[in-house]
């Protein structure tokens, strides 16, 4: 009888471990597009429960920046698609290029912005709930 109970317990533990692994391996993907003078979408809501992969693509004709100091601090190293280096804060995106960031930000409201001259209204908000 104790042997049968031990086998059931081990099987249940293995099943729970697998379910936990599957639940932890989930992630969220958000794509932002930098167009000339705006981000699309400019409001994004995600869950704090799962890691976030954020892709920013420059579909415009001009260079754009993606800057959000707190989000960039929370991210893992950006992908190699970042093509321009700059002393400016944030990530510089040439037309037609993208960058991918992986992060697990805590709940909160995070603003993102293009800091290029003349792009002052090019902003967006990421809400992590």
- Residue bearing the bigger pLDDT, 119 or 23: 119
pLDDT-based confidence at residue 44 (cuts at 50, 70, 90): very high
CA angle, residues 114, 117, 119, in degrees to nearest 5? 45
- Going through the chain in order, the beta strands assigned E by DSSP cover 28-35, 38-40, 43-46, 52-58, 64-66, 91-93, 98-103, 108-113, 123-128
**Domains of the chain by residue range:** 27-128
**Reported CATH class of domain 27-128:** mainly beta
Among candidate residues 64, 72, 81, the one with its CA nearest the CA of residue 102 = 72
CA angle, residues 99, 81, 53, in degrees to nearest 5? 35
| Span 81-97, pLDDT tens digits | 444 455 667 899 999 99
Using DSSP, state whether 112 is helix, strand or coil.
strand
Six-digit token pair at 63?
């260079």
Question: Model pTM?
Answer: 0.72
Using DSSP, state whether 14 is helix, strand or coil.
helix
């Amino acid at each position: 009888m104790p042997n049968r109970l031990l086998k059931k317990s081990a099987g249940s533990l293995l099943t729970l471990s697998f379910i936990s692994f599957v639940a932890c391996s989930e992630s969220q993907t958000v794509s932002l597009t930098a167009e000339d003078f705006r981000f699309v979408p400019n409001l994004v809501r995600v869950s704090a429960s799962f890691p976030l992969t954020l892709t920013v693509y420059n579909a415009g004709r001009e260079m754009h920046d993606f800057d959000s100091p707190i989000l960039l601090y929370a991210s893992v190293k950006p992908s190699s698609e970042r093509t321009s280096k700059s002393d400016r804060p944030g990530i510089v995106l040439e037309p037609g290029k993208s960058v991918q960031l992986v992060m697990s930000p805590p709940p909160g409201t995070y603003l993102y912005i293009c800091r290029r001259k003349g792009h002052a209204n090019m902003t967006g908000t990421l809400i992590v709930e």
